């Protein structure tokens, strides 16, 4: 919440002011300028008014369909209500306002002491959003009330062209006389006409629920999240809140079926803050559907930026690999380098590495690799990594020293005052280290991106990572969740989940949805299969100078035009049958314009060009649940497209075979390396080499190419001999490709490496991971050989790691698990190092059991993710069958990823 720039008026009524001369710099003018923000002068205050009454707050010179608020005091019981109108239509019927503290009930028996009005006028610039430069004009009236025993309450009501908002201001001095204020509840509510159409999402603290249509009265009993959208005639009202920080808790709406009242309920039973306390703004964005959708009211109500120099804050598209391999992809340096290479090839400035990277040791290497290619790396973090000052003091400087650009912080999952205090702390500290922020598992934007402009986006949405967002849900979000701030929906996940809209409609989400970071969730293969999509995503920005809603209805469709500089970008998505969509172009200026449309064709996405004027309507054939994307630029002689040049590097790949192998001392390994230029060649001065451990011999030529065009590759073949006296264990053979790009930013020599992991086995030892299983069962996905359990798919785990120690051989399992191998009496001992794998981040709890022919030979008791590895060494002489079992540690099976590290049988 703001730092209360407004003048706080308590106590006795104010006398009406005498008229002030317009002569410059009178003493009174200087005093007023010091007291009132942005030079806004208060209108004359009105003295106490006995009994009941009603007062209207509106903008000066408001249009006939302008927005107004009416405050009414009941003459009998002293209750206060607030209503809102747009022109002659009552949008919000009278609903109670008031608040209860631990010392006073300020919901009734209220007497108006004074009221004063002023104009609020501001200009500010955003780093993200639907409109970068903003102008604020509001009328604010302060109603100063006294209650029983002289308790004081100020009600501030603001009216703008696009809605109304109100908040309470309370003086300090609670029951403990400390100056603190303890709020027990608000009486605040919004009263909609019973028949009003509604689009509502059930409340959860991460706001990850689908919006569904209803009526204001017909919606089921329950709690609903902000923002909630209602339609009254031709007018829409979007209910939400603004300016929430650690001095308060966030709220939600509680509804009882049969009526149109939506009452405000706080996330905490009580809220305590230092006085004077200004609560969040209870906000209703009101207007036509276009007016509501284009509104910036939530940001307009928020405090000004707390970052003076924002030059380091740069929004942009992000390559996000999570939905192309989940945690396994995050633990793979090669996979993350692949996404860096893709970003560098298409001019994207960022790559995001999600949950899983913290079990690796290569992050500084990846960040350096990306930096040399003009790409910056964003890192995922669990909020508990940063929930204390000591943790932030260690973590933030460390990742900043590596060169990370910012953080995706996840799993806050709370709207409590305590969590908002954490938001205050982490935003202050990340800003100090110039780290950009993306919040997932987070609260809703409530003006946070104005106050903290390094917040690029927030999730707070049932997004693409759910894998099954219905088309009706997709087409409701532009009019609900995305109105109030950047929304990290993570579009373009073609390789994941159930497709509910067409390819062109999915592409259109890059325009329809606003997000400072657009975390594109596709796989490299999915992008390359759609070249017109790749081309469009190279051009589309993530921040906008101007936004226009062209057409649409919640749940049915949405078509937007958004401008950056002198180009407009079009995006349309629909829910329904195939047809032809007409989009008016009257937002364009005079003259002729070139439009390039990307739409669904019979064999994939197609691009079409046409020349238009502002008088035309653009007609585009659309598929079922389809849409289109487009770019509009000024037509000019010789211009055949709207694309701008893209700074890019060649998209390359380096593969090696085998990726890993087991050998005996005194034998050899054949290694093949292949460097390919996939797109945007050529690569120049290309070479391939292999590096082996000291004492290992390498034979074969190191190939070189002076120029390697797109579609060509360079191959190297080597034989690596393992010495007779080689130490047992894992070793790396490193294949290195070096090359240059003709493009300016890649003029330096670039390098990429891939490893062949070679495990030298000792004689007389068989590793369990190399033997056939007589039987197996696993609690999550398959049993993994020489990998951690990972996720549900085979071979999606990482290196076996227990408390920072890696193991080349072993089994990765998940409780409850059982692996059976036949011994046939051939072995004498079984040994292993067992524990919970580091990939679960210190969570989990399991117990290990070793059985031979049904007889228990060893048990570990419960081991957790914080315990070191436990060694098992048992005699299996004469045993026919070995059973390795992992059971739940008694706290459920969540995160029970268990490792039989180095599990082996000795003859």
Q: Which residues are catalytic?
A: 410, 465
Alpha carbon 745 to its chain's center: 30
Cβ neighbors of 74 (< 8 A, separation 6 or more) are 52, 80, 81
Q: CA gyration radius for the chain? A: 32
Structure tokens at 82: 């607030």
> Which among 429, 425, 122 is positioned nearest to 299, based on CA atoms?
122
> Which among 687, 701, 692 is positioned nearest to 668, based on CA atoms?
692
Helix then strand then coil, in percent of the chain rounded to 5, is 15, 45, 40
> Which among 109, 97, 102, 115 is positioned nearest to 47, based on CA atoms?
115
Contact of 102 with 176, CB cutoff 8 Å = no
Per DSSP (E only), the strands in 61-132 are 67-73, 80-86, 89-97, 99-101, 105-106, 111-125
Contact of 756 with 660, CB cutoff 8 Å = yes
Structure tokens at 241: 């809140």
Contact of 17 with 45, CB cutoff 8 Å = yes
Contact of 402 with 379, CB cutoff 8 Å = no
Structure tokens at 181: 């204020």
Instruction: Respond yes or no on whether the N-terminal peptide bond of residue 682 is cis (omega within 30° of 0).
Output: yes
CB count in 10 Å sphere of residue 507: 30
Q: What does each C-alpha distance from 512 to 29, 708, 823, 861 come to in angstroms?
A: 47, 40, 62, 54
CB count in 10 Å sphere of residue 601: 15
Alpha helices in 519-648 (DSSP H): 524-528, 531-539
CA 94, CA 74: separation in Å to the nearest integer?
11
Q: What does each C-alpha distance from 385 to 380, 410, 488, 803, 841 come to in angstroms?
A: 10, 10, 21, 17, 10
Contact of 547 with 562, CB cutoff 8 Å = yes
* Start-to-end Cα distance in the chain: 71
């Amino acid at each position: 919440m703001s730092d209360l720039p407004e003048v706080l008026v308590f106590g006795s009524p104010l006398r009406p002011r005498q008229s002030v001369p317009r002569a410059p710099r009178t003493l009174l003018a200087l005093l007023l300028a010091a007291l009132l923000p942005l030079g806004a002068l208060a209108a004359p205050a009105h003295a106490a008014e006995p009994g009941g009454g009603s007062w209207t707050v509106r903008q000066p010179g408001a249009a006939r369909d302008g927005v107004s608020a009416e405050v009414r005091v009941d003459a009998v019981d002293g209750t206060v209500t607030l209503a809102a109108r747009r022109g002659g239509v009552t949008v919000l019927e009278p609903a109670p306002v008031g608040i209860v503290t631990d010392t006073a009930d300020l919901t009734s028996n209220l007497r108006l002491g004074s009221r004063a009005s002023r104009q609020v006028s501001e200009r500010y610039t955003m780093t993200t959003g639907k409109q970068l430069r903003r102008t604020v004009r509001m009328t604010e009236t302060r109603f100063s009330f006294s209650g029983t025993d002289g308790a004081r309450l100020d009600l501030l009501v603001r009216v703008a062209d696009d809605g109304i908002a109100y908040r309470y201001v309370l003086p300090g001095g609670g029951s403990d006389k400390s100056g603190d204020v303890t709020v027990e509840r608000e009486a605040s509510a919004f009263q909609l006409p019973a028949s009003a159409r509604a689009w509502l999402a059930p409340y959860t603290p991460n706001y990850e629920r689908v919006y569904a249509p209803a009526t204001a009265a017909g919606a089921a009993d329950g709690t609903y999240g902000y923002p909630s959208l209602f339609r009254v005639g031709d007018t829409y009202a979007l209910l939400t809140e603004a300016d929430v920080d650690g001095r308060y808790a966030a709220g939600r709406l509680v509804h009882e079926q049969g009526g149109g009242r939506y009452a405000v309920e706080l996330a905490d039973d009580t809220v305590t803050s230092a006085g004077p306390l200004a609560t969040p703004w209870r906000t209703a964005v009101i207007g036509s559907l276009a007016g509501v959708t284009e509104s910036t009211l939530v940001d307009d109500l928020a405090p000004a930026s707390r970052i003076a120099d924002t030059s380091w804050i740069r929004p942009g598209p992000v390559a996000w690999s999570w939905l192309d391999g989940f945690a396994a992809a995050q633990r793979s340096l090669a996979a993350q380098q692949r996404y860096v290479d893709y970003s560098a090839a298409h001019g994207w400035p960022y790559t995001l590495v999600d949950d899983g990277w913290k079990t690796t040791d290569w992050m500084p290497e990846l960040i350096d690799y990306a930096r040399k290619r003009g790409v910056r790396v964003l890192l995922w973090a669990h909020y508990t990594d940063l929930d204390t000052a000591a943790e932030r003091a260690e973590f933030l400087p460390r990742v900043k020293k590596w060169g990370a650009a910012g953080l995706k912080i996840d799993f806050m999952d709370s709207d409590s005052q305590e969590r908002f205090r954490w938001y205050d702390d982490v935003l202050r500290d990340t800003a100090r280290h110039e780290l950009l922020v993306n919040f997932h598992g987070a609260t809703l934007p409530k003006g946070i991106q104005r106050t903290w402009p390094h917040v690029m986006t927030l999730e707070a949405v049932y997004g693409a990572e759910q894998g099954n967002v219905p088309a009706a849900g997709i087409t409701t979000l532009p009019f609900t969740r995305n109105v109030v701030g950047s929304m990290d929906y993570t579009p373009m996940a073609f390789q994941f989940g159930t497709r509910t809209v067409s390819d062109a409609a999915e592409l259109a989400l890059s325009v329809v949805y606003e997000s400072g970071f657009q975390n594109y969730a596709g796989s490299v293969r999915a992008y390359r299969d759609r070249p017109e999509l790749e081309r469009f995503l190279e051009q589309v920005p993530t921040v906008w100078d101007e936004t226009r809603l062209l057409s649409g209805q919640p749940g049915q469709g949405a078509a937007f035009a958004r401008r950056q500089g002198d180009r407009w970008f079009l995006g349309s998505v629909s829910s329904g049958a195939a047809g032809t969509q007409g989009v008016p172009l009257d937002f364009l200026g005079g003259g002729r314009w070139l439009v390039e449309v990307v739409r669904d064709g019979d064999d994939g996405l197609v691009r079409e060009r046409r020349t238009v004027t502002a008088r035309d309507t653009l007609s585009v054939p659309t598929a079922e649940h389809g849409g289109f994307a487009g770019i509009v630029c000024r037509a000019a002689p010789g211009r055949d497209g709207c694309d701008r040049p893209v700074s890019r590097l060649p998209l390359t790949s380096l593969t090696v075979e085998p990726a890993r192998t087991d050998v005996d001392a005194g034998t050899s390994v054949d290694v093949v390396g292949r460097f390919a230029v996939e797109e945007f060649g050529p690569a120049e001065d290309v070479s391939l080499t292999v590096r082996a451990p000291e004492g290992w011999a390498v034979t074969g030529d190191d190939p070189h190419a002076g120029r390697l065009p797109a579609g060509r590759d360079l191959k190297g073949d080597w034989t690596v001999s393992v010495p007779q006296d080689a130490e047992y264990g894992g070793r790396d053979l490193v294949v290195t490709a070096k090359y240059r790009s003709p493009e300016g930013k890649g003029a330096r020599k670039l390098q990429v490496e891939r490893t062949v992991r070679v495990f030298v086995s000792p004689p007389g030892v068989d590793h369990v991971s190399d033997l056939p299983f007589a039987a197996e069962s696993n609690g999550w996905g398959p049993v993994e050989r020489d990998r951690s359990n990972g996720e549900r798919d085979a071979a999606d785990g990482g290196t076996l790691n227990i408390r920072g120690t890696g193991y080349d051989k072993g089994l990765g399992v998940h409780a409850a698990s059982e692996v059976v191998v036949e011994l046939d009496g051939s072995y004498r001992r079984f040994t292993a190092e067992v524990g919970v794998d580091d990939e679960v981040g210190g969570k989990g709890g399991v117990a290990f059991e070793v059985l031979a022919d049904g007889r228990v030979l060893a048990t570990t008791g419960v081991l957790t993710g914080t315990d070191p590895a436990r060694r098992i060494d048992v005699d299996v002489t004469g045993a026919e069958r070995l059973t390795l079992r992992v059971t739940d540690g008694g706290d459920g099976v969540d995160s029970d990823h268990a490792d039989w590290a180095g599990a082996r049988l000795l003859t």
